[in-house]
Chain A
Amino acid sequence: MVPVSYYLILAAILFTIGMASFLVKRNVISVFMSIELMLNAVNLTFVAFSHMWHQVSGQIFVFFVMVVAAAEAAVGLAIIIALFRARQTLSIDQVDLMKN
């Protein structure tokens, strides 16, 4: 049986990769993907702990996270399309209109 710490280390690595790419990527779609990556890293920890404690609540929480992520992806993509139509760019450095 694989110890739970392995899962946690994998999740931490995935989360860090997601966060790092979130911080450095300029393309909105890449940023979105890195958010999904972080969410999945969290999901992985949920599932690992759920298995370890023999509790179903962690698994259920994963469903919620996935639902939210799906909804977010739908809304986010719609925003991205609207944004691209308006500005002809997907670089987030050029769309900081709400500054100040």
Chain B
Amino acid sequence: MNPNLLWYIPLLPFLGFLLNGTIGRKFPRPLVVAVALFFTAIPAGIVAYLWTVLKAAGAPLAISVVSKPWIAVSGFTVNFAFTVDHLTLLMLSIITGVGFLIHLYSAGYMAHEEGFWRFFAYLNLFMFFMLVLVLSANFLLLFVGWEGVGLASYLLIGFYFTKDSAANAGKKAFVVNRIGDLGLLIAMFLLIANFHTLNFDGVFAQIAANPTISTCLLTAIGFMLLLGATGKSAQIPLYVWLPDAMEGPTPVSALIHAATMVTAGIYMMARCHVILDRAPSVMITIAIIGAVTALMAATIGLVQHDIKRVLAYSTVSQLGYMVLACGVGAYTAGVFHLMTHAFFKALLFLAAGSVIHAVGGEQDMRKMGGLRSKIPVTFWTMTIGVFTIAGAPLLAAFFSKDEILYQAFISPSPVGKLVWLIGVITAGLTSFYMFRLWFKTFFGAPRFEEATDAHHGHHDAHAGHGIHVHESPLVMTLPLMILAVLSALSGFLGVPEAFGGHDEFGHFLAPVLSSGEAEHAASAASPILLASVSVAMFAVGLLVAWQMYYRKPGTGAALAAKLKPVYSLLDHKYWVDEIYGTVIVAPLAMISRFGFGAVESGVVQGVPTAGAGITRGVGAIARRMQSGNIRSYAGWLALGAAVILFLAIFTQVPVR
């Protein structure tokens, strides 16, 4: 094949962005959708074509395309270079595939919104940067995509920019991500200083070829990469932006949470596994951060009332699983979970959007209930999503999550058993809060008649007169159905040998993510036994939720009242935002106020003011000379002439 085809994969969405972003305002809505979908579908087609090439070519896959040098200074060169290997191909498929479905869904979901063209332009821009991120053959181009998705997410989260909370959420995402980006930047500086290249191949080859490279250096780089990943993939301590990102329109949540941005950190860690494998302390930190994030986010998810926020915290929690997997060296399992998560989380978000659409913009689960028969397609697809994420046997997350837990249990990592335990507990919590959402939304008596003027940015014609519940149009339900099928079945790609499968997924990624899992074969742990523990956790979560929210719907509130301090702690999300507010934001605000008072009005404004004052003073003197009186001019002239004559005659100054 012609490698130049790779250029078109990101450039087409960019073209779509340009078209819709510049003259889209004048387009009729169907044309805006057509442009956005067209420029997303073609890259998806190219990716599909790449799969056929892969099939034909056999295992070793590495297509690259390199431009002229981008930066070339004294021996250090960076090119515009794209490369496709197995990992990239997988990411490309997820991004273009799920991204296309989300575009399609948005056409229905956003149909009544202002700024329709702007929304689709941003979506395409997001696709562009994400594709650059995964296609890049070096750290710098990866960083371009990395920053780009940050920008696009800022634009999308703050899409309802007239709403304060949305604008603030956009800013928060941007600022928090910048902190992580600093980590990635420093990692890049360290790489340049020590390896004199930013190409993935170059760096990894040097590290692989040289066993004497100081662990210290690799640890430093690893920690900085980890910092970058915590920002982008919403891990402790930088996860706070992701739940707030719910302020964006629901398809944006699906796009950011499922298919693209938050997976960038996982992708980057998997890509850099050569560095991380050589830095054991970083690995341990990654595993612990992942596990703690998973648990903490899951506990917060227990008590949320906003349907989208439950999903948001579940995303943070699931990302914790993926990071955990990277931390115990099970990159393949992490990427596997990334893929299944992309399907089922996109499904869940889009289904939640469909629910919100149905009840006229209401997002509070306390005002839902009984929706099961009214919106059957949404109900059934969401049911598949809920059962999948909860870990029901034979659905996708059952395989991918269990693979992570299994790998954690048998890994030689000193914290392997610990993170396994945390992961299992989290699995139970996940099952519980997802079924809580399911029961509260779809079962029991309807609780939404009294909801009248709830907008939440979704300007629905029905708001204000009670709610006319209606199923979403086909353009929205079709992506739901496709994603439901993918969620249910994609797990079979990675059935491990222990269950009679062949682990096609693992073999597929083996050329890229080969290390880290070789020595596991000798372990005595039974995968069947570990899997049954997970199934038990699923069952417990389901039963408890069923008991609390279906059989005796008041139990939840009663329990909350009984365990007031715990509930309050969870309800306030461990006061993390408040702690950040006190420890970081307030001192910064104080410094800013000082800066404004002393520096801004003292120095920054003072210096020009003083300069202006001096000029004015001199001018006041000079002005007196310009009296308009011709005799005074002549007098000054005569005086000047006299001075010059005096100097010429009585001093040594040559006057010419």
Contact = CB atoms under 8 A, between A and B. Distances in A.
A20 to B, nearest CB: 9
Nearest to B623: A100
A23 B626 contact: no
Interface stretch (A2-10, A48-56, A89-97): A89-97
Interface in A1-56: 19, 22-24, 31
Contacts of A23: 631, 634-635, 638
A100 B635 CA distance: 17
A98 interface: yes
A92 B629 contact: yes
B627 A96 contact: yes
A85 interface: no
A58 B638 CA distance: 24
Interface string B623-656: 1001111110011001000000000000000000
A38 to B, nearest CB: 10
A interface SS class: helix
Contacts of A98: 628
Contact of B631 (A92, A97, A100): A92
A97 to B, nearest CB: 7
Nearest to B632: A23
A93 B631 CA distance: 9
Nearest to B629: A96
A89 to B, nearest CB: 14
Q: Which secondary structure dominates chain B's binding surface?
A: helix
B627 A92 contact: no
Q: How large is the interface on A (under 10, 10 to 19, 20 to 34, 35 or more residues)?
A: 10 to 19
A35 B227 CA distance: 85
B628 A99 contact: yes
Nearest to B637: A19
A77 to B, nearest CB: 16
B649 to A, nearest CB: 14
B626 to A, nearest CB: 6
Interface in B8-27: none
A73 to B, nearest CB: 17
A93 B629 contact: yes
A97 B638 CA distance: 23
Contacts of B631: 22-24, 31, 92
A63 B59 CA distance: 104
Contacts of B629: 92-93, 96, 99
B30 to A, nearest CB: 67
A97 B629 CA distance: 9
B626 A99 contact: yes
A22 B634 contact: yes
Contact of A100 (B628, B630, B634, B638): B628
A100 B638 CA distance: 21
Contacts of A24: 631
A19 B628 contact: no
Nearest to A31: B630
Contacts of B623: 100
Interface in B275-307: none
Nearest to A28: B630
A26 B638 CA distance: 18
A100 to B, nearest CB: 6
Contacts of A22: 631, 634
Nearest to A25: B631
A80 to B, nearest CB: 13
A100 B626 CA distance: 6
Which 9 A-B residue pairs are closest in the complex by CB-CB distance? A99-B628, A96-B628, A23-B631, A98-B628, A96-B629, A92-B630, A22-B634, A23-B635, A23-B634
16 contacts: A19-B638, A22-B631, A23-B634, A23-B635, A23-B638, A31-B630, A31-B631, A92-B630, A93-B629, A96-B627, A96-B630, A98-B628, A99-B626, A99-B628, A100-B623, A100-B626
Given A23-B634, A23-B638, A31-B631, 20 more contacts: A19-B638, A22-B631, A22-B634, A23-B631, A23-B635, A24-B631, A31-B630, A92-B629, A92-B630, A92-B631, A93-B629, A96-B627, A96-B628, A96-B629, A97-B628, A98-B628, A99-B627, A99-B628, A100-B623, A100-B628
